[in-house]
Chains A and B, each alone.
Chain A
Amino acid sequence: MGSKRVKVNKDFAKMFKNGVIMDVTNSKEAKIAEKAGACAVMALEKVPADIRKEGEVARMSDVKIIKEIMQTVSIPVMAKVRIGHFAEAMILESLGVDFIDESEVLTPADENDHIQKSEFSVPFVCGARNLGEALRRIEEGAVMIRTKGEAGTGNIVEAVKHMKTINREIKMLEGIDENLLKNKASNLGVSFELIKKVKKIKRLPVVNFAAGGVATPADAALMMLMGADGIFVGSGIFKSKEPRKMAEAIVNAVINYNNSDILAEISKDIGSPMTGLEMESLAVNLSTRGE
């Protein structure tokens, strides 16, 4: 992939900033998301909460459904592929989706390697729990990072942990000298140039969203306050009692994340959020997939 392509893809991710990207499984949901103010939609076969319940292999969405979604909405359309499944990625690239999420929410296809994303023209977003994961994905060609959180749980605890971990690890680079930085780079399995850049700019060199467990407007505001550039909401919308209201409320919360009076207003009468799960009760931890 040429450097112009990388730039234009990294820049595209900046257009999502301060926005909400919503998981949808069909064109009807996509339309609801667009009307509620989503800045993009993410097409997938089943929302994470259902994937979690069914315990079956989760794969890229049906191409027909992705195409319908692309024809239905005018906002960008993203879609998920399994970790390491570059054939699924090739299919999505040929469809012309705007962004690919190489996602731990689907069943991994490769236990060792991620997709060499730099070989594609289409941009990729990947999940990360810590700085090492984020930087390894960026070196593979990801132009956008999101916390993994723990998708489908409606529990924000893991997303908070991952966002704070990345922020703390970046902060910790501040005091260290060049030699230690070289060690750090080799420990994390990333290039010295990349980690040097992170140290210099004091943030990831790509757009960084929060994902995995956002279920309420307050959850979305919390992640924005922690420094997220924007929010992915998966099951949180279409597993809530009133998806339209919840979708609008979450977008409003991202717009007004630093105004608690308005957040209080937004959080009123929005129907029950999705049922949340405690981490201890989970049979599978999706976030440990793909390091």
Chain B
Amino acid sequence: MKVGILGFQGAIEEHEKILSEYGISTIRIKRKDDFQNIDKLIIPGGESTVMRKFLIEYGLKKLFKETAAHIPVWGICAGSIILSKKVDDKFNNLGIIDVNIKRNAYGRQINSSIKNIDISKLGISNYRGVFIRAPKIIGFKDDIISLGMYEDEHVFLQKDNIMLTTFHPELTDDRRIYNHFLSI
């Protein structure tokens, strides 16, 4: 199996390290050729404005959307913004899932925190999610399944092959979210 990680900016190496523990090879996706022969795709945490800019400027928009629609894709924090069709109530032309997401909704870095998340739908208990200048999911279509909650907020969504987490599983030693993604 080969996992592509969008390689423009952000916490890329963290995923590479973890996936290598599973014996899975990775490739940093920066141009068209990189999309060939990948089985899964990760859009990492980092700055969504930077990823967005270069996906478009490097002419990858169409290929990115086509690929993401067909193979398992996981967006983390900034990555979940890239994949959502609505960002801050505006249409996002890179989006592939009917989610309305609000950037930096918890505030600035001072409001970043580690929270207990309820992922009982996947049989995962006592999960601690790292939220960093996280976006907030403010709406999504009925056919999307909410897999994780922090209090009354949805922080983990999935529809078929598309998965979003507004928290960062790559920053903890807990591998249960990876196990789930790799099983899709």
Interface residues of A (CB under 8 A from B): 4, 7-9, 11-12, 14-19, 34-35, 37-40, 70, 74-76, 93, 96-99, 121-123, 251, 255-256
Contacts and interface: CB of A to CB of B under 8 A. Distances in A.
Nearest to B30: A255
A256 B77 CA distance: 24
Contacts of B78: 15
A4 B168 CA distance: 14
Interface stretch (B102-110, B137-145, B146-154): B102-110
Interface string B97-141: 000000110011110111000000000000000111100000000
Contacts of B103: 74
Give chain A's interface secondary structure class.
loop
A8 B130 contact: yes
16 contacts: A4-B114, A8-B132, A14-B45, A18-B7, A18-B8, A18-B12, A19-B10, A19-B47, A74-B103, A93-B110, A96-B107, A96-B108, A98-B108, A122-B110, A255-B9, A256-B30
Q: Which of A15, A16, A35, A70 is the most central at the interface, judged by chain B CB atoms within 10 Å of its CB?
A: A15
B182 interface: no
B114 A39 contact: no
B53 interface: yes
B171 A11 contact: yes
A19 B49 CA distance: 12
Contact of A11 (B8, B50, B53, B168): B168
Given A39-B47, A96-B107, A98-B133, A12 B9 contact: no
Which of A9, A12, A121 has the largest number of chain B CB atoms within 10 A? A12
B137 to A, nearest CB: 18
A67 B152 CA distance: 32
A19 B9 contact: yes
A11 B133 contact: no
